[in-house]
Amino acid sequence: MADMDHPRNLREIVENGLCLGCGLCQSLAGEDRVRMDWVDPPGRLRPRIREPLDDATEEAILASCPGALLDEPLDRERNGPDAREDPSFGPWIGVWKGHASDPEIHHMASSGGALSALGVYLVESAKVDFIYHVKADENRPMRSRSHVSTNRAEVLEGAGSRYGPVAPLDRLHEQLDKGRPFAAIGKPCDISGVHNLRKLDPRVDELVRYTLAFSCGTFADLQCSRRMLERTGFPGGENGEDNLSLFRYRGYGCPGPTRAVDKDGNVYDETYLDFWYGPHGWTHQFRCKICADPTGEATDVSVADAWPGGGPTEEEWGGYSTFISRTPRGDALMREAIDEGVLAVEEHGIELMYDVQPHQAVKKQGLNARLKAIRDSGFPEPVFRNLRLDEAQAQRDRRFFDDNYEGTRARIGKGANRERLA
Ligand SMILES: Cc1cc2nc3c(=O)[nH]c(=O)nc-3n(C[C@H](O)[C@H](O)[C@H](O)COP(=O)(O)OP(=O)(O)OC[C@H]3O[C@@H](n4cnc5c(N)ncnc54)[C@H](O)[C@@H]3O)c2cc1C
Ligand code: SF4
Ligand code: SF4
């Protein structure tokens, strides 16, 4: 058992369940020294240390790893004088609900097509040269990989939620080395990695012109997707991955089916609700249970599903996104995209997020209790700075705190935060 407050190196980040698999440490250290690799079972991506790391590299990883550090103050220089701060959802300037105006994007994308529409707009209006995001791995379509898009067709290859593991930041430095302006799209924690790197590498502020993220509850280990193959009678069942020609989690409707297609073109579908809430359930990596920023507070624009109550109650609910602009740059992008007819939206206030993302507020409100449980169990916790955790805790009562505390103690008791290095 580690005897310290916070992890002191890459090994301790991973072994104490704080890694979320973003791939930034590979990008920083170089693939010859750190490479993202599969830990299977359960089927998740974790860094493998291939050569000993020098102190400077370890320090750079500790200062930028979003699993170990979230430091997102409401920074007036970045967020501007007009940004307000919500206890649960962070800095905001404008809030909208709507969808991509382009029907093809709207249909293909996860919810309202917000991210894909903004991605296409950014490259077509030459505000950036490319988008750095993710897409399905063409060779192993149940898996995903980082992806560079320079045009509409490439952006749309990435449309849709990839609910399995992916290391979006594994080639971030390669993108910075190009010396060209780009936008990064990812989960909130991926964008926190980019945000952390600002302090170490001035090229981030210069070249990463926009950061966009979606609200995120967690992602699933590969074993969840394999069980879907089994449930739908896919040839080879759980072991049928090599026979896949397509694996999609969402899109083509909202939320759209989880779809596996074999190499003969036969389609095996499961509804979103069955995939999430079916007999085998879901997996959560430990780090997602202590996520202090599930809605992308460090972005220029963050989006979320707009399901009333936080989740779909039926298939084909209709695809709407919520949008939050958080910086003047993100706000200007939103207003321009609305004026240009890229997005069809109505304006709201931040209270909309409490209607459509209540689970994210609850997560934040329980975080202090969960962190205390880690501390009291003698394990290191991440550094979370300026994320209003005391304020969020104060929104709930003692019983809520105790339930969160006990739940985390129990998970730790079962070893949920112990991982082996790949
Ligand atoms: C792991 C995961 C968890 C989610 N949890 C929630 C939740 O708790 N609440 C909620 O409202 N919505 C959640 N979503 C769905 C998310 O809200 C929608 O994807 C989002 O609203 C964007 O919809 P869109 O139509 O604008 O996206 P699209 O236009 O379909 O674009 C999606 C973009 O996200 C990128 N992307 C997809 N998957 C990943 C990934 N795993 N890592 C990094 N980048 C990725 C793609 O490259 C693409 O650029 C989750 C999605 C994922 C992938
Ligand atoms: S969270 Fe990202 S940077 Fe941190 S250890 Fe995991 S893969 Fe590396
Ligand atoms: S829940 Fe938080 S830590 Fe987990 S993948 Fe989503 S943004 Fe990252």
Residue identifier of the C-alpha nearest atom 5 of ligand 2: 19
Domain-ending residue, one of 261, 277, 293: 277
pLDDT tens by residue, 150-171: 999 999 999 999 999 999 999 9
Domain count, the chain: 3
Please check whether residues 213 and 340 belong to one and the same domain. Answer: yes
Instruction: Report how far residue 144's alpha carbon sits from residue 128's, in angstroms, rounded to the nearest whole number.
Output: 24
Residues 96, 102, 104, 105, Cα dihedral to 10°: -40
pLDDT of 3 higher than 50: no
Instruction: Order the strands of the 244-248 sheet from edge to edge.
Output: 244-248, 258-262, 267-270
Report CA torsion sign: 72, 74, 80, 86: positive
pLDDT of 84 higher than 70: yes
Band (pLDDT 50/70/90 cuts) for residue 315 is: low
Tell me the two tokens of residue 41: 């079972």
- DSSP classification of residue 386: S
The per-residue pLDDT for 1 is 42
129 within domain boundaries:
yes
Please check whether residues 138 and 206 belong to one and the same domain. Answer: yes
Please check whether residues 348 and 238 belong to one and the same domain. Answer: no
CA of 295 to the centre of ligand 1 (A): 11
pLDDT of 204 higher than 90: yes
pLDDT of 192 higher than 50: yes
**Backbone phi, then psi, for 297, in 5-degree steps?**
-70, -20
Please check whether residues 25 and 169 belong to one and the same domain. Answer: no
Tell me the three state secondary structure of residue 135. strand
Band (pLDDT 50/70/90 cuts) for residue 314 is: low
Name the percent of the chain lying above pLDDT 90.
88
| 184 close to ligand 1 (CB < 6 Angstrom) | no
Mutation pick for ligand 2 pocket among 10, 25, 197 (CB with most ligand atoms within 8 Å)? 25
Range of the domain at 289: 83-220+284-357
pLDDT tens by residue, 358-410: 999 999 999 999 999 999 999 999 999 999 999 999 999 999 999 999 999 99
Element (H, E) at 193: helix 188-197
Element (H, E) at 348: strand 343-348
The per-residue pLDDT for 312 is 75
Please check whether residues 170 and 292 belong to one and the same domain. Answer: yes
Q: How many C-beta atoms surround the C-beta of residue 31 within 10 A?
A: 12
Please check whether residues 146 and 195 belong to one and the same domain. Answer: yes
Please check whether residues 145 and 31 belong to one and the same domain. Answer: no
| 294 close to ligand 3 (CB < 6 Angstrom) | yes
Please check whether residues 103 and 202 belong to one and the same domain. Answer: yes
Reported pTM: 0.97
| 62 close to ligand 2 (CB < 6 Angstrom) | no
205 within domain boundaries:
yes
Please check whether residues 214 and 226 belong to one and the same domain. Answer: no
116 within domain boundaries:
yes
169 within domain boundaries:
yes
Tell me the two tokens of residue 245: 């020609």
Please check whether residues 241 and 376 belong to one and the same domain. Answer: no
Please check whether residues 351 and 364 belong to one and the same domain. Answer: no
Domain-ending residue, one of 233, 249, 277: 277
Instruction: Report how far residue 408's alpha carbon sits from residue 68's, in angstroms, rounded to the nearest whole number.
Output: 18
User: Which CATH number do you get for residue 127?
Assistant: 3.40.640
CA of 59 to the centre of ligand 1 (A): 31
154 within domain boundaries:
yes
Please check whether residues 90 and 164 belong to one and the same domain. Answer: yes
- By residue count, the chain amounts to 422
